[in-house]
A and B are shown apart, each in its own frame.
Chain A
Amino acid sequence: MALVPKLMKSLSLLDQMSSEKTVKHSWHLKQLVEGMLSGEVGSLSQLINLVENNECNVAELLKMIESYLGKAYCVGLTGPPGVGKSTLIDKLIVVARKRGLNVGVLAVDPSSVISGGAVLGDRIRMQSSSLNGGVFIRSMATRGYYGGVSESLDIVVRLLDAFGKDIIFIETVGVGQTEVYIKRIADTTLVMLTPEAGDSIQFLKAGLIEIADMIVVNKADRIGADCLVSEIVEALSLQEQKSQWQVPVVTTQAVNNLGINELYEEIVKHQEFLKSSQLRKERKF
């Protein structure tokens, strides 16, 4: 679990600080947490900065927000670059807002292995909802972390949870076959594909398909979409049944806003399934 190295790091950081510095640090952290809990977006952002830059004691932070955790439902979207993850999230936000939910989005993009810099471009595609109050969107760079997410992601999820978000959409970097850490963080994991993504052998392989709670075939107006759906359904049908949950295959056209409500219904169904089967991971300290 990604939380562990981050916690360890922050504990050793604490050892290195002089007591005077520690007191000052704790005071500043407390101010920000209070601001965040009272609904200040700026304080939430500053806390995320501290976590991302390893400038705060994560153990101390988590202790402060512990009693506010556990409400937010976490939906992860993963899939290859350009499959439509950001665009789909943009449409899902609209549905969630219509249902009166307070929405958070964490969008991860890769850091350059050469310069360490990053272009965080997911936000551009989330404009139909961005100024709609009740939506918080944060772009995060991987900063050298592998697995399709960033090292700080699960701590930042907790911050958004404490901030009062009902649902958090997490967008991974554009992934290949093995970037599957999202599964450890999200309650529901959506794996997105587009037509011509492969044949039935492709879907027997270990990796991305295995972690899906549902599979979304986006750009479903393209030639080959029906074929892809039946290939996936066939591959899934060959698996031993490990769970009561039947992985649905949903088609969408995110750009044309088609299939979005149906997909959202599936997410709700999965949420209810986890609840009724008591399988939902507890997100605590």
Chain B
Amino acid sequence: MAETKKRIRVLIAKAGLDGHDRGAKVLVLGLRDRGMEVIYTGIRRTPEDIVEAAIQEGVDVVGLSCLSGAHNHLFPRVAELLAKRGGGNVLVVGGGIIPKEDIPFLEQKGISYIFGPGSQINEIAQFIRSNVK
């Protein structure tokens, strides 16, 4: 018997010139094991690619990962394009190597939370569950 429950859909995306996706893959598996449907974009996607995928896949959450230092450019661009495409309800969160002083700027640009190194998967899953609209 097929189940009828709504599932939280998450897009995990690697933005920009950055091939370090071990963390992203750990998260993909962790969220799968917590009952979410997780779509992974693969590495080196542009904000345009990511937003197109998010809209087509009808996701509730976009999780952005960036370890290259370009987060201040890439993350806000994703949030901006998403809003433009009617995805303003989509929860956008980020992770990677993000200096603390950049976090207020990113939050102001529509990134709901930044999960730095050492973040626990349970903590991330809980945040998603509580904040998906």
Contacts and interface: CB of A to CB of B under 8 A. Distances in A.
Query: Which residue of A112, A116, A150, A151 has the most chain B CB atoms within 10 A of its CB atom?
Result: A116
A137 B33 contact: no
Contacts of A136: 56
B86 A42 contact: yes
Contact-residue bracket for chain A: 35 or more
A144 B2 contact: yes
Contact of A112 (B5, B6, B33, B41): B33
A121 interface: yes
Interface string A145-161: 10000110000000000
A49 B58 contact: yes
B4 interface: yes
A257 interface: no
Given A42-B85, A42-B87, A116 B55 contact: no
A41 B85 CA distance: 9
Contact-residue bracket for chain B: 20 to 34
Contacts of A49: 9, 58
Interface stretch (A74-82, A122-130, A265-273): A122-130
B19 interface: no
Interface stretch (B46-54, B63-71, B73-81, B101-109): B46-54
Contacts of B2: 5, 142-145, 150-151
B4 A54 contact: yes
Interface string B1-44: 11111110100000000000000000011011111111111100
Nearest to A104: B56
Given A42-B55, A49-B58, A144-B3, A117 B36 contact: yes
A46 B58 contact: yes
When A and B form their complex, which 9 residue pairs have the shortest distance between CB atoms, in order from nearest? A45-B58, A117-B32, A124-B42, A145-B2, A151-B2, A53-B6, A42-B86, A54-B4, A144-B3
